[in-house]
A and B are shown apart, each in its own frame.
Chain A
Amino acid sequence: MNKPEFYISAASTISHLPTFKNVGFSSVIGPLEANSVLITPDYKGYIEAGLLRRMSKILRMSVACANDCLEQAGVEQPDAIVVGTGLGCLQDTEKFLNTSQTIEGLLPPTAFIQSTHNTMAGQVSLTIGNHGYNMTHTQNTLSFEHAMLDAMMLLQEGDSHILVGAADEYIEILTEIMAQLAPGQDGPMTSGSSFFVLSKERNEQALAVVKDVATIGLVEDVQQNVGDFMADNALTIEDLDLILYAGKDNFPGNAVDYLALSGIYSTASAFALHYAVDVFQTDKKISNVLICNSLRKSNLGLMLVRAVEA
């Protein structure tokens, strides 16, 4: 049985590198430098000023990327909005934790309201007035892959265009926490957001083809699972033109550690997907790309994408 394929009709990323509205970024960016910062666009172009004022970093990134995507794809209302986030709205969570433990009496509610994991998907639906399916997946390092799987199922069930994305934000206390819990972790912790329009049919905007996505929680043998996944798609590792990986896996051939570009956050594999999409626009020799996400050793996320045939 042939597996259904889906089309990425738009992609948008805000990260520590010049990825936003910058087609071809994959050929010009290099590894993150120490002390890099989030590169943000002028949000006023994407978010109404009144809303913008109250929004945390993760909300700004998400709503801007989401709106940019819809504009690129020429889709006014997607059939659904599906978001993955590993740790959710940390800035507002910490803010409300702090005020609730230090202030007596009535507390300002905004940080609490915006602390729930579904705030990104909710805010996107609010800003565009979307009444469709609205979902938030949060399975630490596999949150984005799970969002993708959900979006692909929705297209199978009859939807046409899904807005699917991911976001995670860095807050300062994370540095202290990780120094305690995971001393010696290499690479900087960063913030990032990537959104995509995933479409059932190929259209003029098609940037890439999503062949398959898999998540393997509590994985035991990564190599075995990668092999099975490739076999499932009638391919071998040797058929791949590029492997984007996170973690300590060793791959033959043309392999790039995407964490060196994105920095470390739970949903950095969404950055990798946009990177792959961008590579297809700039390097016509690249056709098959595997994104292999072992950011957390016990979790394996796999995404197989290919270039759109001319």
Chain B
Amino acid sequence: MGVRVTGIGIVSAIGLTVGENLRALREGKSGIGPVRYLEGAKASLAGEVKMSNSELADELGLAAGPVSRTSLLGLKAAREAWGDNKRSGVIRTGIISATSVGGMDRSEVFYQDYLNKTNPDYDLLKTHDSGSTTERIAAELGISGYINTLSTACSSGANAIMLGARLILQGKLDRVLVGGSDALARFTIDGFRSLMIYDDQWCRPFDESRSGLNLGEGAAFLLLENTKSFALTGNRTLCEVSGWANAADAYHQTASSPEGKGATMAIENAIEKSGLNINDISYVNAHGTGTKNNDLSESVALKNVFGNRIPPFSSTKAFTGHTLAAAGAIEAVFSVLSIQNNLIYPNLNYKTAIEETGLVPVTRLESGNVVNAVLSNSFGFGGNNSSLVFTRHE
């Protein structure tokens, strides 16, 4: 049994709304470019959201006071997903967000001034803890009670959706806003540089010549509802989230196992949970970061699960950059749009298949076939692997 998705909201490098994101996906237009907004970034290319902090705060009508970019992006996407839904005394409503570094974009500004002894603003640290973004969004939308934040690195956003669906199926909540938000930070850019997996050229997921990722930033939220809530709100069902699984790779703190063990388990179990057959999957939105290690391991996992009948697949990371904890949520919105519009997105910057696996992703927009079920993969540090299945609502 699936859970209804009745609202979506997104802000990413390719657009500030669902409509803008869909248009860029259709046009094959990447949002990755030279860094314009983040000061002091040691990266030549990144997927920035094309709005400054003050523009975001103005648009959101926020009062003065410390607010992280992670919160600004999260608020913007959450508002779009929430739409004109109202708080309710009878619908038990919760929120689950995901982030990898919380308000690090502010904390690192504080810390630099702290080290330099140049009058550091301690108030900036009020937004450091990961839960603060979620509480801020909850307060704004009038949500109280179940307010939670997950942080499992790059799979966080997918895990928020999974947890939301489980809470609904277990009858703990009637309605839950789920998603994730992560702002670009010097901390994460330097981190991926230290691992020598930050590409100074365009990232090239699933290409033999791939040599790392481009970071991105953004946020996305989905509104999930049960029958009771749905009957009261009258919202339109966009699709269903019908399968999910989380498995640990238990191989290495940052690297994925060469045999794709955790990824294989996550994909297999998510499809099994959805009640679908592997042949029913119309499209795979891959994690596909563009690192040597992830794309090989994920390709092996796809072969493990689908054998020689691998569904059309692509990574959209070359559009948005890798948005870390937001990635699972952003790609979930892309999966919903895929089903709604029967679209399979191109894997930008691909030329040559990975030698070991020979898998060829979709390289041109496909709009000629019905998309009934999408598998979305999110794999992270710590061996945290998660997969979700979205299906057309019949």
A residues in contact (CB < 8 Å) with B: 81, 86-88, 94, 96-98, 100-102, 106-109, 112-119, 121-123, 125-126, 128-140, 142-143, 146, 150, 153, 156-157, 173, 177, 180-181, 215-220, 266, 298
Contact = CB atoms under 8 A, between A and B. Distances in A.
B135 A100 contact: no
Nearest to B142: A218
A136 B115 contact: no
B381 A118 contact: yes
Contact of B146 (A88, A102, A109, A215): A215
Interface in B146-193: 146-153, 159, 163, 166-167, 170, 172, 186-187, 190-191, 193
B380 interface: yes
Nearest to A215: B146
Given A100-B187, A118-B153, A131-B265, A87 B129 contact: yes
Contacts of B167: 153
Contacts of A131: 247-250, 261-262, 265
B327 interface: no
B381 A139 contact: no
B254 interface: yes
Given A112-B190, A117-B130, A118-B382, A139 B147 contact: yes
Nearest to A125: B248
Contact of A218 (B129, B135, B384): B135
A122 B170 contact: no
Given A101-B115, A140-B131, A156-B170, 18 more contacts: A97-B108, A97-B187, A100-B194, A113-B253, A118-B380, A118-B381, A122-B384, A123-B382, A125-B250, A130-B248, A130-B250, A132-B247, A137-B149, A177-B125, A215-B148, A216-B145, A218-B138, A219-B144
A122 B383 contact: yes
A180 B130 contact: no
B246 interface: yes
A220 B144 CA distance: 9
A199 to B, nearest CB: 19
Contacts of A132: 247-248
B135 A137 contact: no
Contact of B191 (A115, A153, A266): A115
Nearest to A123: B253
Interface residues of B, number: 62
Contact of A88 (B138, B151, B172, B249): B151
A218 B145 CA distance: 7
A97 B194 contact: no
Given A107-B193, A122-B382, A153-B166, A218 B147 contact: yes
B195 A113 contact: yes
B111 interface: yes
B148 A106 contact: no
A128 B135 CA distance: 35
Contact of A136 (B151, B170, B190, B196): B151
A101 B249 contact: no
B374 to A, nearest CB: 22
B156 to A, nearest CB: 8
B122 interface: yes
A91 B348 CA distance: 39
A177 B247 contact: no
Contacts of B151: 88, 116-118, 136-138
A180 to B, nearest CB: 4
A106 B383 contact: no
B228 interface: no
A130 to B, nearest CB: 6
A134 B382 contact: yes
10 smallest beta-carbon distances between A and B, as pairs? A122-B382, A217-B147, A112-B191, A117-B151, A109-B194, A180-B122, A100-B190, A134-B248, A218-B144, A107-B194
B3 to A, nearest CB: 14
Nearest to B188: A112
B190 A118 contact: no
Contact of B122 (A118, A129, A181): A181
B132 interface: yes
A69 to B, nearest CB: 17
A116 B381 contact: yes
Contacts of A138: 129-131, 149-151
Contacts of A96: 187, 190-191, 194
A86 B203 CA distance: 34
A236 B254 CA distance: 49
Nearest to A146: B148
Contacts of B248: 81, 122, 125, 130-134
Nearest to A117: B151
Contacts of A157: 166, 170
Contacts of B115: 98, 101-102
Given A109-B191, A112-B190, A139-B148, A181 B126 contact: yes
Nearest to B139: A218
Nearest to B153: A116
B378 interface: no
With most chain B CB atoms within 10 A of its CB, the pick from A96, A107, A118, A137 is: A118
Contacts of A173: 114
15 contacts: A100-B187, A109-B191, A109-B194, A116-B151, A116-B153, A118-B153, A118-B381, A118-B384, A121-B152, A126-B252, A137-B151, A138-B151, A142-B147, A150-B163, A215-B146
A220 B145 CA distance: 10
A180 B125 CA distance: 10
B243 to A, nearest CB: 14
With most chain B CB atoms within 10 A of its CB, the pick from A129, A132, A136, A298 is: A136
Contacts of A123: 253, 382
A126 B382 CA distance: 8
B100 interface: yes
